[in-house]
Chain A
Amino acid sequence: MRINITVIIINVIAILGIGISFYKNREKSKMALKVALKGTLNMAPAIGIIIVLVGLLLGFFKPEFISKLLGNQSGIIGIALASVAGAILMIPSLVAFPLTASLVESGASISVAAAFITTLTMIGFVTLPIEIKELGTKLTFLRNGISFIIAVGIALIMGAIL
């Protein structure tokens, strides 16, 4: 089993955090653990879906296919595909990273990965109605529209320098 340094650091921070928290206030710390548990349970279906999807993705599609569809030679079409998918899909960003990482491992380009993650997090297609209601049509469309352009821009730059 491979355990990498990031994993160790994050777990140490979490343990230290909850330790200090318990030292300062027991009740609040219990509540924090409750929030964590609830969050995990809420995310459980999404986690399960990602685990199954990654399995299918890597099991069924040859790396050549993925790299043809989303690799460097796919160019702007791959990036466009990833950006639109990211804008529409509602995947919790936390579990989107393992998915994206396995795509990259099987041949998707860095640009495609960056485009997908950036639109996924910045643009909320499903939450548009709430955003319009709270902030107005103008601000909402400006924010989401410009975010989309930014996502593509970041993707292209990252593809060029990484």
Chain B
Amino acid sequence: MMNKDLNNKKQQHGNSMKKKKNKKGGIILFAGILIAAVILIILYPENKDASIQASYDIFIELIQILPAIMVLMGLFTVWVSKEIVVKYLGHASGITGLGLALFMGMIPTGPLYIAFPIASMLLKKGARVANIIIFLSAWACIKLPQELMELRFMGFKFMIVRLIFTVVMVILMGLFIEKIDGSSKSSEVKSIED
């Protein structure tokens, strides 16, 4: 037990270290790009006004919408825990399962690499391969805050058409991959259940 705790702590520590490193990398990259931009503008001053105007415009647009999006994500993170996602996905099957997998994936609860362990655990618990693929894909590309940003910047028509096609394609892909993958995993799970 203590060993396990220790391992957990180590892992958490490792994760936060990694995050810090990522953040530092991001800041360095930002600084680099900023310096490059300044040099470019000194070299080609005729582009200065247009560049600054474009940057300013995008900054204003972001500041109008990003805080609200982040607050929504925060609310989802707090009120819809990972456990709830797992609970509902583990049991459902058939059309309900497909729909639920899609819906659960849409709820913003973190980056994709968090979804992989959840997906792997659900597979081991006996969830359908199709559901898992749909869940992962929805998590990756049909997140609610993402759709809101898309609506704001790309327009309603673009957002809704892409959403509809993505949902249809993702469901087809899930069923297709299940068919190809089929035999091995589900039989394994069945034999364990027996």
Q: Which residues of A contact B (CB under 8 A)?
A: 1, 3-4, 6-7, 10-11, 13-15, 17-18, 21, 28-29, 31-37, 39-40, 42, 44-60, 93-95, 97-98, 100-102, 104, 110, 113-114, 117-118, 121-122, 124, 127, 130-131, 133-135, 138-139, 142-143, 146-147, 150, 153-154, 157-158, 161-162
Chain B residues with Cβ below 8 Å from A45 are 23, 26-27, 29-30
Inter-chain contact A58/B54, CB cutoff 8 Å = yes
Chain A interface main SS type: helix
Of residues 161 to 178 in B, which have CB atoms within 8 Å of A's CB atoms?
Answer: 161-162, 165-166, 169-170, 173, 176-177
Closest A residue by C-beta to B78 = A32
Q: List 14 A-B contacts (CB under 8 A).
A: A6-B65, A11-B65, A13-B68, A21-B78, A32-B75, A33-B74, A36-B73, A40-B70, A47-B62, A49-B29, A97-B149, A118-B162, A147-B173, A158-B158
B52 near A: Cβ within 8 Å? yes
Inter-chain contact B23/A54, CB cutoff 8 Å = no
Of residues 47 to 92 in B, which have CB atoms within 8 Å of A's CB atoms?
Answer: 47-56, 58-62, 64-75, 77-79
Q: How far is the CB of A78 from chain B (nearest CB, A)?
A: 17
Determine which of B52, B68, B141 lies in contact with A14 in the assembled complex, contact meaning CB atoms within 8 Å. Answer: B68
Q: How far is the CB of A60 from chain B (nearest CB, A)?
A: 5
Inter-chain contact A97/B150, CB cutoff 8 Å = yes
B188 near A: Cβ within 8 Å? no
Inter-chain contact B158/A130, CB cutoff 8 Å = no
Q: How many contacts between A and B, using CB within 8 angstroms? A: 226
Chain A residues with Cβ below 8 Å from B60 are 1
Determine which of B71, B123, B137 lies in contact with A147 in the assembled complex, contact meaning CB atoms within 8 Å. Answer: B137
Interface size in chain B (residues, C-beta < 8 A)? 79
Complex-state Cα separation, A59 to B112, whole angstroms:
34
Q: How far is the CB of B77 from chain A (nearest CB, A)?
A: 5
Q: Which residues of B contact A (CB under 8 A)?
A: 19, 23, 26-27, 29-30, 33-34, 37, 40-41, 44, 47-56, 58-62, 64-75, 77-79, 112-113, 116-117, 119-120, 123, 129, 132-133, 136-137, 140-141, 143, 145-146, 148-154, 157-158, 161-162, 165-166, 169-170, 173, 176-177, 180-181
15 more A-B residue pairs beyond the given contacts A28-B78, A54-B58, A59-B49, with a C-beta to C-beta distance below 8 A: A4-B152, A6-B152, A15-B68, A17-B71, A36-B67, A39-B70, A51-B58, A55-B51, A59-B51, A94-B145, A101-B154, A122-B141, A134-B119, A143-B137, A162-B158
Complex-state Cα separation, A97 to B141, whole angstroms:
13
Inter-chain contact B154/A100, CB cutoff 8 Å = yes
Inter-chain contact A158/B165, CB cutoff 8 Å = yes
Given A58-B50, A158-B162, the answer on whether A14 and B58 have CB atoms closer than 8 Å is: no
Inter-chain contact A143/B136, CB cutoff 8 Å = yes
